[in-house]
Structure 1
Amino acid sequence: MHALIDIGNAGSLTAKELSENLLLEKSTISRLVRKLISRGEIIETTSLKDSRQKDLKLTIQGQKTMEEVSKFAEIQVKNAISPLRNSTKRDVLNGLETYSEALKKSRLYGDFNVSVTLTAPIFA
């Protein structure tokens, strides 16, 4: 599903860009792309930027799948967060923002062996 979301959010990606975004090997991406094409979720078109490359785009079915996944994820998050106090919701949001920034930095600098010390009671 991550591949569909990445392609859908970008509008179009090359297999190389998808590989970089998902941190997957070229051979893994190739198999994934073939599978998504065979399921009718994406299409390959010749890139307008470089005719040697193929752009990956969502089909109508791929757009529907992405919408369903997004709706499902949104419902899950709302159901998990709604019973929490507002102050706890803010803590969760702050934690997710911090985590998101750490992931971005990790990807930018290629440091995928991040050591984390968790101090919250839930992780003890």
Structure 2
Amino acid sequence: MCFSNSTIIPLSSHASERSEPHLSLRAPAATCNMCNRAFCIAQRLPICKGAEEKDVFTTCFQRDSRKDQIVVVTFIMVTVALLGWSAVRKVLEKRNGGNTGGGGDAQQGYIAVGR
């Protein structure tokens, strides 16, 4: 963040762009240690034109891991599947005339309580 303007700079893309081609296999992985005021000023972003180190505020964050993404996607798929099953079950109950095949124990309607 420079002054009141902010932007996101992916560290991984900058680390690979700046490394020499023959050193790319040995280049260190980009970490949040790289994210400092000097790094942001060195990017020469238009929003930081004329900014000094005291005008720059940095924050580093990591995106979700693959494991987190798998958990979230699985949760969403299970939720959608359960909602879909509920809809299909209602359609099947209507086609069967409301009989669920439970031996006559199925409730046919609601009775008002507390009249």
Richer in helix (by share): 1
Richer in strand (by share): 1
Identify whether the pair has TM-score above 0.5, normalized to the shorter chain: no
Q: TM-score, normalised by structure 1?
A: 0.22
Which protein shows a greater Rg?
A: 2
